[in-house]
């Protein structure tokens, strides 16, 4: 079998040369040949006096059309190309587009540094799963980009706010008889008794009275008192308490009075 194949290949090679120069088969434009896998040999078939089919079932038959002495554009298919035959030098600039690249085949190793810019990223394509933890700093956030929707409820503290925009953390509106008329984060209100000279207003842990950011408004200014004061009770009262005191209009000592106390 090997001798027959060798003689056939030699004879068909001569026929191939004759056919390609056009001297013997000038009118023939379509050629049929067989490729022998793992050998790289090609032999012609379907020519006068030649075989009409591949000599072995494992041989691959293919055709091409000659035009003007050359190969017709588009007539070479993948069966005519050996593995690894197409190198970078054989590929024209801009010849490879999306349709030539297998879906999901490109990895980070295939991309040049800094080759992916904003124009290569689809709108809304980047979400939290694509951003490394801690990767977004102040420089990456546009001016005015963070609003109430971007801030988690209850996450901001006094330390996060400038002094010019502090909001009230504690509020106590107290009647003369000690009734708490309105309160925010208030635990208790104690009216002066048994010689005490100040009210005691105690707030919960959401209010930090040690910052001494108080606004005190007497109940009836100019009538109830001549002066009013508020100070951190420190350790002489329940934790997080404020002492509130008043001085009478007649120049006397401590007087009783309703008030409104705001703690920032």
pLDDT at 146: 85
Task: State how far the Cα of 260 lies from the Cα of 215, in Å rounded to an integer.
Answer: 8
Digit-by-digit pLDDT tens for the chain (264 residues) are 444 444 444 444 444 444 444 444 444 568 899 999 888 889 999 988 889 999 999 999 999 887 655 566 666 777 777 788 888 888 888 888 888 888 888 888 888 888 888 888 888 888 888 888 888 888 888 888 888 888 888 777 767 766 666 677 889 999 888 899 999 999 999 888 776 778 899 999 888 888 888 888 887 555 677 678 888 877 777 888 998 888 776 655 667 788 899 988
Predicted confidence at residue 69, as pLDDT, reads 55
Predicted confidence at residue 198, as pLDDT, reads: 85
- Confidence at residue 60, expressed as pLDDT on a 0 to 100 scale: 92
Nearest to 167 by CA among 263, 103, 250: 263
- Decide: 210 and 232 in contact? Cβ < 8 Å: yes
CB atoms within 10 A of CB 209: 23
Verdict on whether the full-model pTM lies above 0.75: no
- pLDDT value of residue 27: 47
Question: For residues 261 and 264, what is the distance between their CA atoms, to the nearest angstrom?
Answer: 10
- Say if CB 262 and CB 215 are below 8 A apart: yes
d(C-alpha 54, C-alpha 12), whole Å:
12
DSSP 8-state symbol, 225 = B
Residue 106: both structure tokens together: 């490109």
Which residues neighbour 63 within 8 Å (Cβ) at sequence distance 6 or greater? Answer: 30, 31, 32, 33, 75
Please tell me the predicted confidence (pLDDT) of residue 166: 63
């Amino acid at each position: 079998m090997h001798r027959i194949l060798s003689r056939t290949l030699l004879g068909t090679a001569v026929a191939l040369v004759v056919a390609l120069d056009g001297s013997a088969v000038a009118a023939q434009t379509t050629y049929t040949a067989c490729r022998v896998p793992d050998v790289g040999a090609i032999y012609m078939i379907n020519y006068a006096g030649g075989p009409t089919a591949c000599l072995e079932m494992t041989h691959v038959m293919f055709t091409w059309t000659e035009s003007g002495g050359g190969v017709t554009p588009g007539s070479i298919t993948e069966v005519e190309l050996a593995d690894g035959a197409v190198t970078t030098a054989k590929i024209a600039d801009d010849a490879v587009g999306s349709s030539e690249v297998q879906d999901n085949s490109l990895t980070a190793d295939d991309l040049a540094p800094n080759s992916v810019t904003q124009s290569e990223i689809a709108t809304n394509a980047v979400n939290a799963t694509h951003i490394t933890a801690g990767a977004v700093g102040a420089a990456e956030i546009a001016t005015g980009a963070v609003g109430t929707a971007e801030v988690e409820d209850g996450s901001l503290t006094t330390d996060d706010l400038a002094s010019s925009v502090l909001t009230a953390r504690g509020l106590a509106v107290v009647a003369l008889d000690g009734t708490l008329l309105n309160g925010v984060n208030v635990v208790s209100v104690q009216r002066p008794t048994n010689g005490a000279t100040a009210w005691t207003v105690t707030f919960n842990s959401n209010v930090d009275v040690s910052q001494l950011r108080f606004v005190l408004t007497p109940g009836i200014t100019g009538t109830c008192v001549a002066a009013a004061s508020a100070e951190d009770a420190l350790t002489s009262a329940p934790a997080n308490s404020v002492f509130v005191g008043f001085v009478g209009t007649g120049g006397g000592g401590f007087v009783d009075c309703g008030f409104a106390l705001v703690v920032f």
